[in-house]
Amino acid sequence: MMLGTVVRRVWSDRQLHSFDGRRLVLVAEAGSDRREVAVDLVDAGPGVLVLVATDEAAAAAAGDASIDAAVVALVSDPPAEEGLSQ
DSSP-H helix ranges across 1-86: 55-62
Fold category of 2-13+20-78 in CATH: OB fold (Dihydrolipoamide Acetyltransferase, E2P) (2.40.50)
Over residues 10-34, the pLDDT tens digits come to 998 888 887 888 999 999 999 999 9
User: What pTM did the predictor assign?
Assistant: 0.84
Cα 24 from Cα 50, distance rounded (Å): 14
Mean pLDDT, residues 1-5: 95
Give yes or no for a contact between 28 and 46, defined as CB atoms under 8 angstroms apart: no
57 SS3 class: helix
Over residues 63-83, the pLDDT tens digits come to 999 999 999 999 986 666 555
pLDDT at 84 over 80: no
